[in-house]
Amino acid sequence: MSTTEDRTSTGAPAGVRLREATPADGESIALLVRELAEHERAPQAATATGDDFARTLREGGGIGCLLAEVDGPAGVEVAGMALWYTTFSTWQGRRGMWLEDLYVRPQHRRRGIARAFFGRLGELCAQRGHGRLEWWVLDWNTPAQEFYRTLGARPEEEWTLWRLDGEGLAALAPRGPATGS
């Protein structure tokens, strides 16, 4: 979209509606996550189910998801999602937002949906007093990196991601009653 006249009052492109996901959207979110995992060349990594997302959204706790919807031949179709959670910066002494996944289905790309997601996430950050919005991007995904730069984002190249999961994480769990000092 090239002009502001082509956008709705919410910042979404004409014909696109952004809304907050509810627990009833769990299956749609799980499907989008599996599609994203395929795109990121790791389909086996996406093990979450619709029930997992429904439960998580029901529980709350600083987790949210925006869905983009469009009218399709068979009715309303989910075109993409932005799933986020609240973080905290000790340096800023403020909460922030971590964008865990942003995905727009291939047939709906280049319509301004991703930019609309970022616009809405920016609004949420401002409303909540968050000090930052952060996310990962794969090294090989240069089109995404170029798009993020158009938003004014920059890579944090001095930081290296570390992860502990699976057996390594389980090995940290105490084996008996906790002892305090």
121 part of a folded domain: yes
Question: 24 is in which domain, residue-wise?
Answer: 4-172
- Tell me the average pLDDT across 141-148: 96
Residue 126, token pair as written in the block: 């401002």
Look at the alpha carbons of 109, 71, 116, 14 in this order and tell me if their dihedral is positive or negative.
Answer: positive
92 part of a folded domain: yes
132 part of a folded domain: yes
161 part of a folded domain: yes
What CATH number does residue 24 fall under? 3.40.630.30
**CA separation (Å) from 73 to 35, 76, 77, 172, 180?**
21, 8, 9, 51, 62
CA distance 6 to 21: 24
8 part of a folded domain: yes
pLDDT tens per residue across span 35-69 = 999 999 999 999 999 999 999 999 988 999 999 99
180 part of a folded domain: no
Among the listed ranges 138-142, 163-167, 172-176, which one has the minimum average pLDDT value?
A: 172-176
**Terminal CA-CA length for the chain:** 61
177 part of a folded domain: no
Average pLDDT of the chain to the nearest whole number: 91
178 part of a folded domain: no
Select the more confidently predicted residue: 73 or 120.
120
Total of domains in the chain: 1
pTM: 0.86
Active site residues: 148
